[in-house]
C-alpha cells in the first residue's frame, strides 16, 4: 500500500485539528465554569439544565410574591392591632360614661374623646399599603374603603373581592380582606326587629348617647362595642394565620430551591480537577502530535540517496 505525501499531511492536519478543538473546548469550559457549552454537546443534559432553570425561576417568582403579600399583610395586621387598641379604649370610655355619678360636663368630655377615637378608627380603616393602595377596599384599591356621604353617614365604598396570589405550585393565598369583614356591622334589636347597623354608625350612636346622657343608648352601645371589637380581633387572627401560612410556604420554597440548585449544580457546574487533568493530557497529546509530524514531514527518500 502506497501512502502519498499529501495523504500523510492531511491525516496529520486532521489529527492536530481535532486535538486543538478538544483543547479549546476544555479551555472554554474552564473560562465559563460550565460543563455544557452548547446544547448540541449533550442534548439530554442541556434539556435537564433548561428545565431546572425554569423551575428555579418560578420558585423565585413565588418567593417575591410571598415577600410582597407579607409586607401588605403586616401593614394590615398592624392596622388591625391599632384598631383593636382603640376599641378597647372606646369600651373603657363607654363604661366610664355610663357611670351615673359622672356629671354632664364630664360625660361630654368623654364624648369628645370618643369622637376623636371614632375619627381615628376611620383613618385606620382607610389605611394604605406601601404601594399607596387602600388595604380594605377589596379590588377597588384606588378608592378609600370608607367615606362620609351627603347625609353624614360613613359608608363602605369597596367591594367584597378577595384577590388571590400564587405562592407555590397549586398554592395561593388571599392577599386582602374587605373592610366590611374587619369593621363589621352589628345587629341591633329594637321593638322585636333586628336591624343591621354599620360599624361607624354604631360608634356615632355611642357618641350621641354619651353627649345626651342617654343611659339606654349608652348601655346598648357598650354591648355593640364588644361586637365591633370581636370583629376586628377575628380579622386580625385571620391575618395572623395567613402570615403563618406564608412563612411556612416561604420555608418550603427555600428548601425546594436549594434542592433544585444542587441538582442544577451537579448537571451544570464544572469539575475543575477533572477538566484541568483532561486539558493537560490534551496539551501533551497535541505537543506530541506536532513534534511527530515535524519529524515525519522531514523524512524523504532523497535523504538516503545522498
pLDDT digits (tens, 9 = 90+) for 61-117: 999 999 989 999 999 999 999 999 999 999 999 999 988 888 888 999 999 999 999
pLDDT band at 1 (very low <50, low <70, confident <90, very high): very low
- Per-residue pLDDT, 226: 93
Mean pLDDT of 186-214: 90
User: What's the average model confidence in pLDDT over 37-65?
Assistant: 80
Task: Determine the length of the chain.
Answer: 306
| Mean of pLDDT values over 128-154 | 90
CB 217 within 8 A of CB 207: no
pLDDT band of residue 166 (cuts 50, 70, 90) is: confident
Please tell me the predicted confidence (pLDDT) of residue 2. Answer: 47
Evaluate whether 231 touches 33 at the Cβ level (below 8 Å). no
| H-run or E-run covering 77 | helix 43-97
Percent of the chain with pLDDT over 70: 74
Q: How far is CA 79 from CA 25, 124, 176, 285, in A?
A: 60, 6, 13, 73
Q: Which residues pair with 156 in a beta bridge?
A: 146
* pLDDT of amino acid 295: 61
Is the whole model's pTM more than 0.75, yes or no? no
Res. 121: pLDDT tops 90: yes
Q: 54-263 has which fold?
A: f41 fragment of flagellin, N-terminal domain (1.20.1330)
Four-point Cα dihedral 78, 84, 89, 91, nearest 10:
170
Q: Is the dihedral of CA 288, 291, 297, 299 positive or negative?
A: negative
Per domain, the residue ranges of the chain are: 54-263, 270-306
Strand 171-174 to strand 164-168: parallel, antiparallel, or no bridges (unpaired)? Answer: antiparallel
User: Strands, E, within the chain: which ranges?
Assistant: 146-148, 154-156, 164-168, 171-174, 186-190, 193-197
Amino acid at each position: 500500500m502506497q501512502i502519498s505525501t499529501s495523504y500523510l499531511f492531511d491525516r496529520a492536519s486532521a489529527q492536530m485539528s481535532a486535538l486543538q478543538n478538544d483543547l479549546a473546548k476544555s479551555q472554554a469550559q474552564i473560562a465559563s465554569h460550565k460543563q455544557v457549552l452548547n446544547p448540541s454537546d449533550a442534548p439530554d443534559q442541556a434539556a435537564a439544565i433548561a428545565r431546572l432553570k425554569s423551575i428555579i425561576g418560578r420558585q423565585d417568582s413565588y418567593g417575591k410574591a410571598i415577600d410582597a403579600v407579607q409586607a401588605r399583610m403586616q401593614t394590615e395586621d398592624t392596622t388591625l392591632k391599632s384598631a383593636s387598641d382603640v376599641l378597647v379604649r372606646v369600651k373603657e370610655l363607654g363604661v366610664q360614661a355610663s357611670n351615673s355619678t359622672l356629671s354632664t360636663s364630664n360625660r361630654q368630655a368623654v364624648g369628645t374623646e370618643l369622637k376623636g377615637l371614632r375619627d381615628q378608627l376611620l383613618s385606620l380603616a382607610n389605611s394604605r399599603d406601601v404601594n399607596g393602595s387602600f388595604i380594605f377596599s377589596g379590588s377597588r384599591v384606588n378608592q378609600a374603603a370608607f367615606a362620609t356621604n351627603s347625609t353624614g353617614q360613613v359608608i363602605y365604598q369597596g367591594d367584597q373581592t378577595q384577590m388571590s396570589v400564587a405562592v407555590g405550585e397549586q398554592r395561593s393565598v388571599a392577599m386582602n380582606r374587605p373592610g366590611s369583614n374587619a369593621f363589621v356591622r352589628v345587629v341591633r334589636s329594637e321593638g322585636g326587629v333586628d336591624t343591621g347597623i354599620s360599624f361607624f354608625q354604631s360608634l356615632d350612636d355611642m357618641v350621641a348617647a354619651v353627649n345626651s346622657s342617654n343611659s339606654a343608648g349608652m348601655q346598648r352601645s357598650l354591648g355593640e362595642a364588644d361586637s365591633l371589637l370581636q370583629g376586628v380581633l377575628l380579622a386580625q387572627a385571620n391575618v395572623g394565620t395567613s402570615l403563618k401560612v406564608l412563612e411556612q410556604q416561604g420555608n418550603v420554597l427555600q428548601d425546594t430551591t436549594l434542592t433544585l440548585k444542587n441538582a442544577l449544580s451537579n448537571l451544570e457546574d464544572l469539575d475543575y480537577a477533572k477538566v484541568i487533568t483532561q486539558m493537560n493530557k490534551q496539551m501533551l497529546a497535541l505537543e506530541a502530535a506536532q513534534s511527530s509530524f515535524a519529524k515525519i514531514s522531514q523524512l524523504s527518500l532523497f535523504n538516503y540517496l545522498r
